[in-house]
Structure 1
Amino acid sequence: MSIGKRSRVREVVREVFRRKAFRFGWCSTCRSYVLRVSTCPVCGNSVKFIDATLPRDVRLAHEYDIEVTREAIARSCGVSSEYLDRVLPRSGTVLLNKVQYVDAADEVIVSGYIIGTRFFDLLRQEWVFRPQYEFASLIIREKIGYYGIVRGSRLSVGEVIERSDVLEGDLPSDVGYYVPLETRDGKFQGVGRVVGKDRLKVVKTWSSVEPLELEGTCTVDRIIEVNATVLEALERDSLKFIESCLRKYSTYVPLVTFSGGKDSTVVLHLSSQVGVREAIFNDTGLEFPETYRNVDDVASKLDVVVHIASAGDTFWNLLKKFGPPARDYRWCTRACKLVPMARKVRELYGSRPIMSIVGQRMYESVQRALAGRVSTGNPIIPKNILISPIYYWTALEVQLYAKLRKLPLNELYLKGFERVGCWLCPTSRLAEFKIVETSYPNLWSKWRGYLLKYARVKKLPREWVEYGLWRWRFKYPGDVANLVKKLGYRPSDLLEKTAITRCIITENIRIGEVHSLGIVMVNCCEMNLGELCKYLSKIPGTTTCKQLSDTVIVLENRLGKATVFSTGRVSVQCSSLESCFKLLTEIAKCIAKLKCCSECGLCTGFGEDSTRGCPVISAYVASVERQVREKTAHVRSTH
């Protein structure tokens, strides 16, 4: 996707979230959070709106979350346990609001106040807390932690403050910690990040506010009591939506997709209320023990049939060929989820169309916000649609509703997991992997052992494993690339060592009207040209494809001519460099089919075009295309 298109998509999503943003507030009279309305349903008083970061998919913090947050405040803010009980008590209800960050990060909300944001620092591999507003003011005024009174009369974001600019205070020596700041006249406050010895960089400012004074805590039961009408309205809307879909898609088989997580548990409960009694659970072979227990508990509680679509040992078998999955190389999703699901559905229902009832919510991600309440489903199940009854719900409302209806919830949430899924999923955050490492040492040691062995073979540093850098195969996000540099490595060097294939440009010249481009695809030696010729002959626009010997194939296409060698060397001659790229891409697809296909069934449902169905082949082709374009960029600009 181009930069311009990505920008337009982001703007569309921002507008969607602005228009449909979840609103909630705090009623000081009832000491409870109030959802979706501006006046308290119990006392009728106006509520204080909580301006949390969009999209405000707030959720309940559990005991583990509260404990690690208290530890982060004590460690990075210098606040003692005596004062922690005033700010973040172990009793009462705390909310977390996920914010955008390279790893785990949440705004922490206590009794209607956003007291700050917790971040999982990738370099430190620990939680760090950034206080703000009333809590920062409390730290400054009562001197209960790290703080600084600065010489100037104003604070500006980006300003660097030296130790000599601090009139009074207690500054930490650890780089990366956050320090509340106040001007000497007390009119402005802010927070600075330690960027060096006795140096702070201001990251946020505001006009001074009064110190935090909690108005008492609330319980989950109290929140449910105050918001019962809202929860019941959400329930009615979702039930009505399911019933309307059952009528509209009456020829489809209704089937709840059940993961063992909170969202799909609520959806299964709602669906069972309108007569849908069947669900399907995708056992990837990488589920947590708690998930298996939850599936059994929910099925028993709701008296529904849960079919199991098992991937068996597929992941570990394909791992030997494909290498570790990554966020931009998710072969595991198709191999361990989509294919087993499609096979089980065909076994149960043949070719009948399926209406999958899922627990997707718009506030979860950009992709789900754009998908809508009704969308296309599993691409390898014909006539499959997805409907999302709780599309407009927040995580908090799902949690409250589950407790209201006494539904069994997965114990993983109590251990600090935000979501339920495979225990080694590359989309997981490093913070969650630390929980896996601590709570499930046998599982983690198996995966870590594999990664270390893979790293040795690829000559990758140990940090590639320890800092979760294996979760990207083609490009590191900006913050991760910066982390790699801080660790003393070049991001491009690490990515090249894990590349699915490497390309060397051997020829890039133009003679008259003909452009000639030659490459060598490393690790493609001794290809079976007989099989490759069959694939090449099916390239659109091909007029001739002949195997001249055991080592050479010549091909003529409307784009140009090509010579392919068994060693992985390819030479193309076309009227333009762009045509060379297109023909090379088509040839790379054929080589990828020959080299990568393990007959795993991932491409099922896509006919001849397995590059669409197979994430490995798609990644191989994308890797070739990207490398060729990058390595010829300078030459292209001169012609």
Structure 2
Amino acid sequence: MRTPPMTTVTPDVSTRQGLSALDLLEAEGIHIIREVVAEFERPVLLFSGGKDSVVVLHLAAKAFAPGKVPFPVLHVDTGHNFPEVIRFRDETVERLGIDLKVARVQDYIDDGRLAERPDGTRNPLQTQPLLDAIAAGKHDAVFGGARRDEDKARAKERIISLRDEFGQWDPRNQRPELWSLYNGRHLPGQHVRAFPISNWTELDVWNYIERENIALPPLYYAHEREVFRRDGMWWSVGEVSLPREGEQTERRLVRYRTVGDMSCTGAVESDATDTSAVVAEVTRSTLTERGATRADDRISEAAMEDRKKNGYF
């Protein structure tokens, strides 16, 4: 099977073969998923209920239809998740009949393997539960929904990215992927991360969600919420996200561009209540969703790369 070439997508662009750019990205993603399933013994898909992992799961369902997705999904639950996302996660795996594995950060805190951070966020604490779950499940390939346009560290990532026996990533030791040929060789104890939508942009993702009519957690769309302003972002009021002295709460019409923890993810003001309105809004945006709304990526200039080197998504 000849792999479609990688491309940058703009709406309503067609190729000489009569396929749209979204068709080519979809074909590439399905090809990557099938290649990984054919080459590896125990793949698993990281599924948080966020839009990117939802799209990867949708591609996987298409790749193996009319059969079921032939691998489980794994969620590293920090305990700080939005309740709407957890409900959506559970409803989705039940609808598709997929096995859900959950690694809980709270279990590690309770038994002393991890300690709460002074800043209150748990997102950086996901690494050890993730690596332990991969080892326990003997997973040799882990699908993720990361995209190159999200962050400088993710832009360095290959589509098939090797992790050593400690789960660590070496950005200086990346394998070439000329002509979309993927090298999955690994030693016992090592595994690879596979990123089927690596070449997609945020706009590609939303165009595809609109075309395929893919369901998402409701907080991706504009809704009224009690929020407060911090570090240039609107934070949702919740048990793990409370205003500090001097921070006033108010009701605002907001939506989330990315879904991380309540303790590290901000909302943006928006009146986009449906997918077509979100597409129009993303088209006008000059910041990636992580750059605009993720406090955990502001810890340092190399925050994402440091976490990835240690085994993060």
Matched, 1:271 2:60: yes
Deviations 1:143-168 (A, max 9, x none): xxxxxxxxxxxxxxxxxxxxxxxxxx
Q: Quick one: which amino acid aligns to residue 161 of structure 2?
A: S
Deviations 1:452-494 (A, max 9, x none): xxxxxxxxxxxxxxxxxx97999799xxxxxxxxxxxxxxxxx
Distance 1:367 1:473 in 2: 13
- Match 1:430 to one of 191, 213, 231: 231
Q: Quick one: which amino acid aligns to residue 245 of structure 1?
A: V
State the shift of 1:308 in Å. 0.9
Are the structure 2 counterparts of residues 473 and 305 from structure 1 closer, same or farther at C-alpha, using a change threshold of 3 Å? closer
Q: Provide the residue aligned with 2:182 in structure 1.
A: none
- Match 1:230 to one of 15, 18, 21: 21
Distance 1:346 1:23 in 2: 37
After TM superposition, the score normalised by the length of structure 1 is 0.30
Distance 2:119 2:95 in 1: 37
Structure having the larger proportion of residues in helix: 1
Are the structure 2 counterparts of residues 293 and 377 from structure 1 closer, same or farther at C-alpha, using a change threshold of 3 Å? farther
Secondary structure (helix, strand or coil) at the match of 2:87 reads helix
Are the structure 2 counterparts of residues 290 and 315 from structure 1 closer, same or farther at C-alpha, using a change threshold of 3 Å? farther
Is residue 255–residue 276 contact of structure 1 (8 Å, CA) maintained in 2?
no
Q: Quick one: which amino acid aligns to residue 304 of structure 1?
A: I
- Match 1:402 to one of 195, 199, 209: 209
Q: Quick one: which amino acid aligns to residue 93 of structure 2?
A: A
Distance 1:277 1:304 in 2: 8
Is residue 30–residue 196 contact of structure 2 (8 Å, CA) maintained in 1?
yes
Q: Quick one: which amino acid aligns to residue 8 of structure 2?
A: F
Are the structure 2 counterparts of residues 305 and 237 from structure 1 closer, same or farther at C-alpha, using a change threshold of 3 Å? same
- Match 1:444 to one of 225, 241, 256: 241
State the shift of 1:277 in Å. 3.5
Distance 2:163 2:209 in 1: 26
Q: How does 1:566-605 map to 2 (within 5 A)?
A: none
Deviations 1:221-243 (A, max 9, x none): xxxxxxx8333332222111222
Q: Provide the residue aligned with 1:323 in structure 2.
A: 118
State the shift of 1:21 in Å. 8.0
Matched, 1:243 2:50: no
State the shift of 1:358 in Å. 0.8
Distance 1:35 1:315 in 2: 50
Q: Provide the residue aligned with 2:180 in structure 1.
A: none
Q: Provide the residue aligned with 1:490 in structure 2.
A: none
- Match 1:287 to one of 75, 81, 86: 81
Q: Provide the residue aligned with 1:34 in structure 2.
A: 12
Deviations 1:40-81 (A, max 9, x none): x8xxxxxxxxxxxxxxxxxxxxxxxxxxxxxxxxxxxxxxxx
Q: Provide the residue aligned with 2:264 in structure 1.
A: none
Q: Quick one: which amino acid aligns to residue 34 of structure 1?
A: D
Is residue 29–residue 196 contact of structure 2 (8 Å, CA) maintained in 1?
yes
Which structure has the higher relative contact order (CA within 8 Å, separation 6+)?
2
Is residue 42–residue 71 contact of structure 2 (8 Å, CA) maintained in 1?
no
Q: Provide the residue aligned with 1:426 in structure 2.
A: none
Are the structure 2 counterparts of residues 474 and 374 from structure 1 closer, same or farther at C-alpha, using a change threshold of 3 Å? closer
Is residue 22–residue 36 contact of structure 1 (8 Å, CA) maintained in 2?
no
- Match 1:412 to one of 212, 219, 237: 219
Are the structure 2 counterparts of residues 355 and 23 from structure 1 closer, same or farther at C-alpha, using a change threshold of 3 Å? closer
Matched, 1:355 2:141: yes
Distance 1:243 1:472 in 2: 32
Q: How does 1:37-56 map to 2 (within 5 A)?
A: none
Structure 1: runs of 5+ lacking an equivalent: 1-19, 25-32, 42-227, 327-331, 417-422, 424-428, 452-469, 478-611, 615-639
Q: How does 1:458-607 map to 2 (within 5 A)?
A: none
- Match 2:156 to one of 338, 354, 370: 370
State the shift of 1:276 in Å. 2.8
State the shift of 1:377 in Å. 4.2
Are the structure 2 counterparts of residues 368 and 379 from structure 1 closer, same or farther at C-alpha, using a change threshold of 3 Å? farther
Is residue 298–residue 408 contact of structure 1 (8 Å, CA) maintained in 2?
no
Q: Quick one: which amino acid aligns to residue 90 of structure 2?
A: D
Is residue 283–residue 308 contact of structure 1 (8 Å, CA) maintained in 2?
yes
Deviations 1:159-210 (A, max 9, x none): xxxxxxxxxxxxxxxxxxxxxxxxxxxxxxxxxxxxxxxxxxxxxxxxxxxx
State the shift of 1:371 in Å. 0.8
Secondary structure (helix, strand or coil) at the match of 1:371 reads coil
Computed over aligned residues only, the root mean square deviation of the Cα atoms, in angstroms, reads: 4.1
Structure 2: runs of 5+ lacking an equivalent: 1-5, 168-188, 248-294, 303-308
Are the structure 2 counterparts of residues 431 and 410 from structure 1 closer, same or farther at C-alpha, using a change threshold of 3 Å? farther
Aligned pairs, number = 221
Structure having the larger proportion of residues in strand: 1
Q: Provide the residue aligned with 1:507 in structure 2.
A: none
Q: Quick one: which amino acid aligns to residue 289 of structure 1?
A: P
Distance 1:307 1:284 in 2: 14
Deviations 1:374-393 (A, max 9, x none): 11348744312111111111
Q: Provide the residue aligned with 1:383 in structure 2.
A: 190
Deviations 1:355-408 (A, max 9, x none): 001111111121111112111348744312111111111222222322333322
Distance 1:266 1:294 in 2: 14
- Match 2:99 to one of 299, 305, 319: 305
